[in-house]
Structure 1
Amino acid sequence: MRYSTQLEHGKKIPLHDEEGFIGMRAAGRIAADTLDYIAPFVKPGVSTAKLDALCEEFMRAAGAIPGTIDYHGYKHASCISVNHVVTHGIPSETKILKVGDILNIDVTPKFQGWFGDTSRTFKVGAVSILANRLVNTAYDAMMAGIHTVRPGATLGDVGAAIEAVAKAQGFSSVRDFCGHGVGQVFHDTPQVLHYGRAGTGIVLEPGMIFTIEPMLNVGSYQVKVLPDKWTTVTKDRSLSAQFEHSLAVTETGFEIFTLTGSTDPLV
């Protein structure tokens, strides 16, 4: 394993070679396929526990194991965050979807030692105009951040691009959670903030692999963690939406490992 000469808070940043790219392509494909598979099951009357069970079944059938199970004591194959839940929503038999809900499903299959990390916000039937705009903007913000990625760009460029898209629609970008390095380690260096100033921060180099996963809120970016120590909600109970891809910096730009087979989940 090679490492960047740059350090993040004293920690090394991995630079992956083609072997790493091959591993991430395989894990990322399973992650993307899991979300494609689950999409038809996202409908009124279904519990988030049922969706979680289906995600786990699919990942295991593909030869992967859910990377979230037993991670810091977490017991589920996915995180499912509904409406004002920002992230780390715990699947539950009692959480039943209804028309108008939005929910993020986040999966991280581990395949042959590599973690493919991705999430997508789904709409349950017809949603409000505001919810629809939030979901679309969260996707656009993620892609705006991704399209800044190239050698010589900075992580500040990524965050600034995301925040600009959010602010243009009157939304806020959550600051308490961020993207992260990923590969043979679930959460690695570097941290990828979803806000910031262009031209600042770690300079991107070929071989860096990380997630970009902005969480956008209708109201304030402030969040709070519930007593279960996982579920994180907006402090003002406003809606929140998120999308996430795992990607690498290449010699000429970027490669996304978790692209959906349908090209664009919002079409």
Structure 2
Amino acid sequence: MIYLKNEEEIELLRENNLLVSRTLAEVGRHIRPGVTTKELDRIGEEFIRSHGAVPAFLGYQGYPASLCISVNEQVVHGIPSTSQVLKEGDIVSVDCGTFMKGFVGDSAYTFAVGAVSDEVKQLMEVTKEALYKGTAQARAGNRVGDISAAVQEYAEKFGYGVVRELEGHGLGRKMHEDPGVPNYGARGRGPLLREGMVICIEPMINMGTRAVVFEPDGWTVRTRDRKPAAHYEFAVAVRKGGADVLTDFSIIEEAINK
């Protein structure tokens, strides 16, 4: 069942998602060679709690950490670890969730660790642009398939694999609400987008094929060919005039480009 939000609820979702953006910015400031993903998780959790929220991921269906931190060929849901030490040239996707005032925030951003290859830089840029292309379709009267097709068409132009086993989702009082928002599909198909829907759009794009493997830890998803993957995620309120993006990547990019 799709739950439409009123203006007050959308503002509470915006508040959560801006906190997620600020948390990702804080974590991003500490991303460098030599840091462990466990340390980044600690930084993120402390920041979330110090701003009056709780980590939405911690304990969710048994998940053991506050952030999902996925390095290189890990697509999503990487579990932070003291043994995972970032090195120059890595890329790291950080997915973050907050719960505050009865609502959830959820967003992800892929960071470069030091200097990365041109090939990897292009993967990151294309994945982020695919997110923008999908978001541009999130207006009342369109369908979920319009978002899905925009993401898929753009990413596949570059020969990249679009992950199919995982998708975006509705967002509200729960982290995962209806509708599902796949990153592949056909225009004009899928649920109708209506004013007041809040959804997460999150392209997960592989440099190689779209095939993924679910690791034995029960969470981590990696590319089958072990080529890198990138992941970016917006929370978006659907409006008649277009998407109202509740996430703010400019906060993150200002922090990491200082």
TM-score bracket, normalised by the shorter chain, equals: over 0.9
Match of 2:239 in 1: 250
Match of 1:139 among 110, 117, 128: 128
CA contact (8 A) 1:33 1:261 kept: no
Match of 2:207 in 1: 218
Question: Helix, strand or coil: the match of 1:13?
Answer: coil
Q: What residue identity is the alignment partner of 2:119? A: L
Matches within 5 A, 1:19-34: 19-34=8-23
Match of 1:172 in 2: 161
Match of 1:18 in 2: 7
Question: Helix, strand or coil: the match of 1:117?
Answer: strand
**How far does the alpha carbon of each residue in 1:194-227 deviate from its partner, in whole angstroms, 9 at most, with x for none?**
0111111111100111100010001111111111
Q: What residue identity is the alignment partner of 1:231? A: T
Match of 1:4 in 2: none
Q: What residue identity is the alignment partner of 1:200? A: R
Matches within 5 A, 1:16-165: 16-165=5-154
Unaligned runs of 5+ in 2: none
TM-score when normalising by structure 1: 0.93
Q: What residue identity is the alignment partner of 2:118? A: I
CA shift at 1:262, angstroms? 3.4
Q: Distance in 2 between matches of 1:251 and 1:22?
A: 17
Distance change >3 Å, CA 143–CA 116, structure 1 → 2 = same
CA contact (8 A) 2:201 2:235 kept: yes
Q: Distance in 1 between matches of 2:252 and 2:101?
A: 25
Identity of counterpart residues, as a percentage?
38
Q: Distance in 2 between matches of 1:53 and 1:219?
A: 32
Question: Helix, strand or coil: the match of 1:86?
Answer: strand
Q: What residue identity is the alignment partner of 1:70? A: G
Q: Distance in 2 between matches of 1:40 and 1:254?
A: 28
RMSD: 1.3
Q: What residue identity is the alignment partner of 1:28? A: N
Q: What residue identity is the alignment partner of 1:255? A: D
Deviating runs (4+, > 3 A) in structure 1? 261-267
CA contact (8 A) 2:141 2:240 kept: no
Q: Distance in 2 between matches of 1:151 and 1:42?
A: 38
CA contact (8 A) 2:143 2:190 kept: yes
1:231 has 2:217 as partner: no
**How far does the alpha carbon of each residue in 1:20-77 deviate from its partner, in whole angstroms, 9 at most, with x for none?**
1111011011101001111110000000000000000000001000001111111100
Q: Distance in 2 between matches of 1:219 and 1:91?
A: 24
Aligned length, in residue pairs: 256
Question: Helix, strand or coil: the match of 2:116?
Answer: coil
Q: What residue identity is the alignment partner of 2:209? A: S
Match of 1:184 in 2: 173
Q: Distance in 1 between matches of 2:218 and 2:73?
A: 16
Q: Distance in 2 between matches of 1:23 and 1:250?
A: 16
